[in-house]
Amino acid sequence: MDDTQIASLLKSSDLFPLPQSLKLSYGTAGFRGDASLLDSTVYRVGILSALRSLKLGSSTVGLMITASHNKVSDNGVKVADPSGGMLSQEWEPFADQIANASSSEELVWLIKEFVEREKISIGGVGEVLLGRDTRPSGYSLLRAAEIGVSSVLGCVAVDKDLLTTPLLHWMVRAKNKGLNASKYDYFENLTTSLMCLIDLIPVSEFKITKLVLDGANGVGGQVMNEFSFCTLDVEIRNTGFQGGVLNEGVGADFVQKEKVVPLGFGSKDDVGVRCASFDGDADRLVYFYVPSESSGGKIELLDGDKILSLFALFVKEQLNTFDDDGKEGELSRLGVVQTAYANGASTDYLKGLGLDVVFAKTGVKHLHEKAAEFDVGIYFEANGHGTILFSESFVSLLVGKQKDLSEGSDEYNAVSRLVAVSNLINQAVGDAISGLLLVEVILQHMGWSVQKWNELYKDLPSRQVKVEVPDRTAVVTTSEETEALKPLGIQDAINGEIKKYKRGRAFIRPSGTEDVVRVYAEASTQEDADSLGDSVAQLVKSFLGSS
């Protein structure tokens, strides 16, 4: 790293001093916090993104400014790798180091050391696509990102303006594949693959029923307003244009956690109607409906587990149609990935379908990695973040098989559906828009109402408890976070409590950001789930103490 590059970094970093006592850690969601404190962080992630592009042979990298489902006064920043996936975990320690460097001199020293160690050639051509959600703080933070990117010689920031997070990831993936990668290419891709699936619905008449969408007063509702729904009937509420506040009493996170209608929903006209909610940056999706006029705002929730189950059932149906001799798995391996937080009833249902169910550590980057091990891997967290991954070799197999089959045959139609799904679904990251379109077409394919879908299985009652402790690192779990390895003896004690309850299940895991241990419990009744959760929380306090 020569003197010119060092001077460029020193000059620009002086514009963004680190706020006192700010300490951030790069996780699944990147960096998040109070927007007023993040200028220096976003500037430094701009530098990191530029270096990432140079390291990977001038590949295009993405930088998204969003705090997703957080309150509007927060913001955040995260990086999309050239694959369209999340930043490689190997670079997260470097992200932490530069984000927390206390001075310009320390920052430049850390960058210089990293560049030399990683053998990054400064002076090459790098490109970073920038996107932001609708938060008022996004514009100034985007300017900080631009300065960070351009302070690395030879690197260029391309402002893509207001985008959903999944759309930015899609653009990055498409651009690095040599494909057209604008927002309108994204729309065209969705439309073409959706229409293909609609044309393959095995009924004489395509029945249109209304969907009402809660846009969380965020960018997702606004992007959906630009999209032609083909033959779908979608009414969008909470777009942000009517003065609503981002994520305040609206959105997927609110609906999933509170299990009540978002603002703008709940009139008698909404009873029984199929509804869906995005989160603030449209990477999460949940469905719901109001069961009756007397429900008092309470809803029937169809969360990420239910969406996963619907997708798995549909994909399995197509695979079974053409796998050799009707024997599943001879041509393909379908797997589903959940976390320990998945409701036990959903896991039982998926296993009952004969599916390969595996567990991953909490965080979509861990689920994504596991899902990529299958020919077709489906992952979802209960919060509504998930997608379907198709291996490139399996898509090639499908396309080849499609050419050899008789058009209109059951096998041809099944293969064509899977090819269309691989194009419709966002394989880079969870995408509420593409996920919603796939749910809608599968329900039409099945001839199901939202109520019929909800009957796949009944969720077990559950309880979550947060226990403050002096040192969360005292808890060590298995890689799937389903059992505690330390403190010694605590898992045996938890198992003893679990045995007291019908269909009991519980686990503990340390928080990734604060000194708390999270407890999850479920059982056949809500009373038992609450009791089990409380008793496990007491075990945590007795083994670790409470702060």
pLDDT tens figures, 265-276: 999 999 999 999
Distance set, CA 448 to CA 207, 378, 437, 456 (Å): 11, 21, 15, 11
Say whether 510 counts as a known binding-site residue. Answer: yes
Kindly state whether residue 336 falls inside one of the protein's structural domains: no
Nearest Cα residue to 441 out of 285, 213, 289, 232: 232
Yes or no: say if 57 and 100 are a contact pair by the CB < 8 Å rule: no
Task: State the number of CA atoms in the 13 A half-sphere of 233 facing the CB.
Answer: 9
Question: Phi, psi at residue 65, to the nearest 5°?
Answer: -105, 105
Question: Residues of the chain whose pLDDT is less than 50?
Answer: 325-329
**What is the identity of the amino acid at 268?**
K
**Full domain range(s) for residue 44:** 3-162
- What's the confidence (pLDDT) of residue 206? 55
With respect to residue 430, please indicate whether it lies within any of the assigned structural domains.
Answer: no
121 marked among binding-site residues: no
Last residue of a domain, one of 115, 140, 162: 162
Kindly state whether residue 182 falls inside one of the protein's structural domains. no
CATH code of the domain covering residue 73: 3.40.120.10
Does 503 belong to an annotated binding site?
no
pLDDT at 226: 86
Of the candidates 159, 155, 146, 147, the residue with the CA atom closest to the CA atom of residue 9: 147
Q: What share of the chain is helix, strand, coil (3-state, %, to 5)?
A: 45, 20, 35
DSSP 177-196: TTS--SHHHHHHHHHHHHHH
Residue 111 lies in a domain: yes
Identify the three-state secondary structure at position 70.
Answer: coil
Q: Which residues contact 79 (CB under 8 A, 6 or more apart)?
A: 30, 45, 48, 49, 52, 61, 62, 63, 64, 86, 87, 95
How far is 2 from 111, CA to CA, in rounded Å?
Answer: 12
Question: Residue 517 in contact with residue 475, Cβ under 8 Å?
Answer: yes
Task: Give the 3-state secondary structure of residue 276.
Answer: strand
Determine the pLDDT at residue 326.
Answer: 44
**Domain for residue 398, yes or no?**
no
**Phi and psi angles of residue 377, each rounded to the nearest 5 degrees, phi first:** -120, 125
CATH number at residue 498: 3.30.310.50
| Domain-located, residue 476 | yes
Among 12, 49, 53, 68, the active-site one is 68
Q: What is the pLDDT at residue 458?
A: 96
In this prediction, residue 240 carries a pLDDT of 87
Q: How far apart are CA 360 and CA 368, in angstroms?
A: 9
Q: Please check if 185 is assigned to a binding site.
A: no
pTM comes to 0.94
In DSSP terms, 33 is beta-bridged to 75
Instruction: Confirm or deny that 511 is annotated as ligand binding.
Output: yes
Dihedral sign, Cα of residue 395, residue 397, residue 403, residue 406: negative
Q: How many CB atoms lie within 10 A of CB 369?
A: 18
68 is annotated as contributing to ligand binding: yes
Between the CA atoms of 163, 336, 477 and 257, what dihedral angle is there, to the nearest 10 degrees?
A: 50
For 188-229, the pLDDT digits (tens) are 999 999 999 999 998 755 577 899 999 999 999 999 988 877
- How far apart, in Å, do the first and last CA atoms of the chain sit? 47
User: Residues for the chain: how many in total?
Assistant: 547
Would the annotation count 217 as a binding residue?
no
CA 266 from chain centre, in angstroms, equals 27
CA distance 38 to 73: 11
In a domain, 436, yes or no: no
**With contact defined as beta carbons under 8 Å apart, do 425 and 378 qualify?**
no
**Other C-beta atoms within 10 Å of 326: how many?**
9
**Residue 94 is assigned to a structural domain of this protein:** yes
- Best CA proximity match to 511, nearest among 462, 474, 456, 458: 474
Cα separation, 84 vs 86, whole angstroms: 7
* Per-residue confidence (pLDDT) for residue 309, from 0 to 100: 98
Domain boundary (109, 138, 162) is at 162
Residue 479: other Cβ atoms inside 10 A: 9
- CA 137-365-141 angle, to 5 degrees, is 15
Q: Is 279 annotated as a binding residue?
A: yes
68 is a catalytic site residue: yes
Residue for token digits 């394989």?
427
Separation CA 382–CA 523 (nearest Å) = 17
| Cα 238 to Cα 222: distance, rounded to the nearest angstrom | 9
Residue 91 tokens read as: 């670079």
Q: In this predicted structure, what is the pLDDT of residue 328?
A: 44
Cis peptide bond N-terminal to 487, omega within 30: yes
- Of the candidates 376, 396, 373, which has an alpha carbon nearest to the alpha carbon of residue 320? 376
Number of domains in the chain: 2
Q: Which residue among 135, 162, 189 closes a domain? A: 162
Residues forming a β-bridge with 215: none
